[in-house]
Structure 1
Amino acid sequence: MSDGAGTRDGIAGLDFSAVTPEEFAKIVKSLSPKEIDEIARDGELRARILAEVFARMERQFKPETAGSLQALIRWQVTSAGDRAEAVYETTIADGVCTVGEGRSDATPRVTLAMGDADFLKLVSGNSSPVTMFMMRKVKITGDVALAAGLNRYFDIPKP
């Protein structure tokens, strides 16, 4: 998948619900940031991918690790050009993880902002959150320690 159209068409044809987290991680690993940005230009496809990623957060949550953690995590996935920022919120409370699309009136404990390619690399286990922060690929507002440890609360694939 080296040209943008072929990559987009290949991803567009996927039934994301049938792709395992490990398969998704391998797909993301095989894509360059430029290819991911090309995919994200298709607003409908971008929305499908983001919706599936966030739906999986609830399923991949590890309640035994979260213990008594109470946190609202706001995700801002930014895009180049005229594409709108996508906002999702992950709430962890009482050993349960719920995800909602959009920005609530609640104050998040931490907000993570990053571009499409960096977001997909992060959630698929293809990039280290600490490295991304140090390289300024992710902007963190609020509880930096919580942000640095988020990966321990989710079963993230090893690509």
Structure 2
Amino acid sequence: MTDFSPESLSAIGPKEFTQLVKSTPDSKIAEVMSSEKRTKILDEVFNRMPTLFRPDRAGDTSTVIHWILTGGPEGSADTYETVIENKTCTVTNSPARDPKLAMTMDAVTFLKVIGGTGNPVMLFMTGKIKTKGDVTLATSIPKLFDIPKG
């Protein structure tokens, strides 16, 4: 498999991403995600989110989700905003709207969830994902996106 880096992520698809996350030790992912490479990796992942969105499953969903990712350089956190409305999905790293749901987790947990290798319910139950707002919305997120299964 390839190295866990921004360059490798930009060259692979969702299924390969799942395999990369699955085959990379958590300690290595945590190391990379606490370095200066973090922003490029998160931007790459979030920029793909609209392409994996399933408007046919969205119905009349209209919501704002904040993803608060901890474990950055010097203990920093990053917040990304996903807006789903009118059967579209947009993402920004400059949140501007009040979220219906905010989820806080470390970057390793986030990558496992979006890579399909982590069980979001189990991660929530064990406290690795913390939510504020509409918890029911959190359970419906996976159906709105084509998330490969690990």
- TM range, normalised to the smaller chain? over 0.9
User: What TM-score, normalized by structure 2, do the two folds share?
Assistant: 0.93
Q: Of 106, 112, 120, which residue of structure 2 is paired with 1:115?
A: 106
Q: Any conservation in 1 of the 2:6–2:41 contact (CA below 8 Å)? A: no
1:6-155 correspondence to structure 2 within 5 Å: 10-12=3-5, 14-43=7-36, 45-79=37-71, 82-104=74-96, 106-155=97-146
Gaps of 5+ in 2: none
Q: TM-score if structure 1 supplies the norm length?
A: 0.88
Aligned length: 150
How far has the Cα of 1:31 moved from its partner? 1.9
Is the contact made by 1:122 and 1:129 (CA closer than 8 Å) also made in structure 2?
yes
Q: Is residue 86–residue 102 contact of structure 1 (8 Å, CA) maintained in 2?
A: no
Superposed displacement of residue 117, structure 1:
0.6
Q: Identity percentage over the alignment?
A: 37
In structure 2, give the amino acid aligned to 1:53.
V
Q: CA deviation at 1:81?
A: 6.0
Task: Provide closer, same or farther for how the CA distance between residues 60 and 13 of structure 1 changes in structure 2, counting only shifts above 3 A.
Answer: closer
| Structure index of larger Rg | 1
Q: Partner of 1:4 in structure 2? A: none
Runs of 5+ unmatched residues, structure 1: 2-6
The list of structure 1 runs, each at least 4 consecutive aligned residues, that deviate by more than 4 angstroms after superposition, is none
Check 1:49–1:13 CA distance in 2 against 1; reply closer, same or farther (3 A cut).
closer
1:122–1:55 distance in 2 versus 1, CA, 3 Å: same
Q: 2:33, 2:72 within 8 Å by CA — same for their partners in 1?
A: no
RMSD: 1.7
